[in-house]
Amino acid sequence: MKNLDAEALYRQLAEQIRPHVTPKTALVGIYTGGLWLAERLHAELGITQPLGAIDVSFYRDDYGSKGLHASPQRTEIPFNVDGAHVILVDDVLYTGRTTRAALNELFDFGRPAMVELAVLADRGSRELPIAARYCAHTLPQALPREQSLQLQRDENGRFTLALTGNG
Residue 66 reports pLDDT greater than 80: no
Given a cut of 80, is residue 2 above it in pLDDT? Answer: no
Q: Is the pLDDT of residue 69 over 80?
A: no
pLDDT of residue 124: 93
Tell me what pLDDT residue 147 has.
Answer: 93
Looking at residue 3, its pLDDT comes to: 80
Q: What is the mean pLDDT of residues 59-68?
A: 57
- In the chain, the N- to C-terminal Cα span, in Å, equals 11
71 or 101: whose pLDDT is higher?
101
- The confidence score (pLDDT) of residue 75 equals 95
**pLDDT number for residue 27:** 98
Q: What is the mean pLDDT of residues 122-151?
A: 95
Which range, 50-64, 65-79, 87-101, is most confident?
87-101
**Buried-exposed string 52-91: b where 16+ CB fall within 10 A, e elsewhere:** bbbbbbebbeeeeeeeeeeeeeebebebebeebbbbbbbb
